[in-house]
Structure 1
Amino acid sequence: MSLTASVATAALAGSLLAGLPPSVGAPAEPAPRAERAPALEVRTVAKGLANPWDVQQAPGGRLLVSERDRARISVVRNGRRRTLADLSKLVWVSGETGLMSLAVDAAHRRVYACHGSSKGGNHVQVTRWRVDRKWKRLSGRRTMITGLPSTSGRHGGCRLLLQRQGPGLVIGTGDAAVGTNPRDLDSLGGKTLRIDRRTGAPMPDNPFAGGTGNRRYVWTYGHRNVQGLAQRADGTLWSVEQGSYRDDEVNLLVPGGDYGWNPVPGYDESVPMTDQALPGEQQDARWSSGESTLATSGGAWVSGRQWGDLDGTLAVAALKASEVIFLAFTDDGALAQVTRPEELTGFGRLRSITAARNGDLLVTTDNGSDDRVLRVSPR
């Protein structure tokens, strides 16, 4: 079976939306590294940054970069950086929370950001702006969703993904280190959420859309700290999640799925990342780090024949392990191969990874000073 995802059928799409899904089964053991992975060229396209959380493409060869603690959005073009917006008066910064993920709707010149806020108490929210034609100024600020929990700043999430079809905006959140949040459907913490990017309303096909309160926004629940989101060519949604002292995870997201994180009473991190002793069905990870965590963060699907055996893999950035791992999955989501290119080591902590339009990968380092945006190309 090809490792590159095929187009999802209407029947599959219907089955994914038909109620609470069964467990997807345990992940396969990683296979040896691929032997025909291409050599990689790594170039620095921006430097002098501090904790860049995300990088996204904008029109005209521009890159948008967010810096967590500086609360600054920059435009990078031809190796030069300029400030698009200083959001330090808007963004609450504490620990892991600050200015985090970005999403760019180029067709409508809109920029979305996930960030901390202290208005009405510390929390995380998603804000949208309109950009002028020269990408020099933001205006028309609008809050899309608010109240994502973040008390101390620990486990604030927060990853954004614009779905390719329809108006869906997917949001991955952290549990705020509060044990009851992940399985409480009326808490927005420890979840993936879907909203209408135009209005901020819950998407009408969300699995709990017929309910009341916050559960209307919920796509999946039972997560610890969602750091990455990626949509495969077949339309399926995948998350990258940080584990406790064990078991970073890559998950295939199925609507209404419970991913099994329930660290109660208190915040007991000795419990399994996916606790199969809980009531109901829990979704097992499609890849897990096992006992030694990598501190996985952003993820992006790799596309293009120039990538050889890495075409169709999920590239995942790792903070603690300071590497990028490429995970190959079969069409039905079983792990088939793990590749760790040496060219992507030696840069320190790696936070975000984004697929560029030409197939290159854009990667941010997160070392705290003199951080960079890297462009990775197969030779």
Structure 2
Amino acid sequence: MQFGIFTVGDVTTDPTTGKTPTEHERIKATVAIAKKAEEVGLDVFATGEHHNPPFAAPANPTVLLSHIAAATERITLSTSTTLITTNDPVRLAEDYAYLQHLADGRMDLMLGRGNTGPVYPWFGRDIRQGVELAVENYALLRKLWDEDVVSWQGKFRTPLQGFTSTPRPLDGVAPFVWHGSIRTPEIAEQAAYYGDGFFHNNIFWPISHTKQMVALYRRRFEHYGHGTADQAIVGLGGQVFMAKNSQDAKNQFRPYFNNAPVYGHGPSMEDFTEQTPLTVGSPQEVIDRYAAMREHVGDYQRQLFLIDHAGLPLKTVLEQLDMLGEDVVPVLRKEMAAGRPTHVPDAPTHASRVAAAGGHKDSTVYADAEDVTGASPTAQ
């Protein structure tokens, strides 16, 4: 099972000091956090995509992830999420294939509709067509990765005629895709239809809701013939803050919780931790809470934690990573492995997907088209 962290890149004032990081400080801190995640033995680092304050998350996550790929050796790089609704599928196909080459395959991506309504008109889209956009754009993205030459016509972009997306996927194997959704059954259906992963970022939801969404995805995964329901590829989001002593954790995190831009000034921290996966306490409390997740959703493949939000200073986040890597994840790995059926797969990786496809191959398209018109001289 894979364990990792994700960031939304929020630029939030530290309520205990009154200091607000600059965008530069927040961006550099994100890189330090990703490198620390690899250092402590985590499997995945994921970044969100945002186009507005108060976020310094990248508008194009491949920029940040390419930089981190050059500074790391082992950790898988992902997104949380890439907006399939407002990005051009042609650009997504090219950018993420390029990242795949730079990272030597240790990347995947999570696609989603986003949680910021105004992003649709910013990019000339209609939020009322969000699900339609997600379905059509992903169908084209898959086609661009799976076929060397694509002719296509749809509703939301100009047609393509004899188009080749470059670079081609590394080793002829497209990046693995997770479909991220909190509340939309159509996205769970889409993930199941293609046999892709389904990521339920349930940081604001009760486990009963998460259980329903994952169960729907599993049933439909089996319906489409990709395997049994318990072989479906599931990921969950989570949120933790730890101290060696549970009361110290609560005391330290409370001012950050109370002033967080998303859930601050609402339910109490105690009510929120009871109703959602947010766990504030000792490492053992985190272990107990997350080891029990599979009782609700079955054996799953990826668990990502949000730990750098709400104005927490970099020093504190790095300390949280030390505890996560030293005290929590090794125990959770053993807990999750115990009793896991042998037919339940691990999270797909580039290496496993290449092996399943029959091994490495050169997927380069050696074409003789010229630069001005794209036409082949031999066809004239």
> TM-score normalised to the size of structure 1?
0.30
Q: Greater share of strand residues, 1 or 2? A: 1
Q: Greater share of helix residues, 1 or 2? A: 2
